[in-house]
Structure 1
Amino acid sequence: MYYRLTKMKFDSSRRDEFYAYADSVRDQLKALGAQSIFVVEVNEGSSFTIAAYESKEDADKAGPQVKEILGGMAQFMTAPPEASEGEVTWEM
């Protein structure tokens, strides 16, 4: 498995709009080939999106569409998204 983790900071006063946008692109997200996508809020206005892919190649193939979707979220963000990614090296 290959994971892409994206740290996002957003305007907490627009939280409902932020998630409504995510819901509106749900079908686009499903078409990316990700095994799963989760959003974890770690603080008010700060979250991590965790996307699991079968391989790096699948994650790379989804990249352009992910950037387009994140571009639509720019109106809610207070800082540019920060992405990290890698292979699973241990699991339980």
Structure 2
Amino acid sequence: MAPFWRNAIHWLDEGRRGVVGVMVDPALKVLSKSGLKCEKTNFRKDLSVFVCTAYITEHLEEIQNFVAEGGGLLIGGHAWWWQKYW
């Protein structure tokens, strides 16, 4: 699975070779082994790619602007997460 993640990040990075900001530890563990410049962090505007869960509620407008201006965004989450509210 690591080659898939590495390729996805390279595609999102668009050759910038910038810092990949990662919110979640399991993703950081996989991506760090792929030779990418990864940091565990919340969203920052100076990142090349931001990796997060689909459930974040902070910085939403900033993240939307980041993507609109060419930043890479990789989001993951479970489709059944919403069920805990029913």
- Normalized against structure 1, the TM-score is what? 0.28
Higher relative contact order (CA 8 A, sep 6+): 1
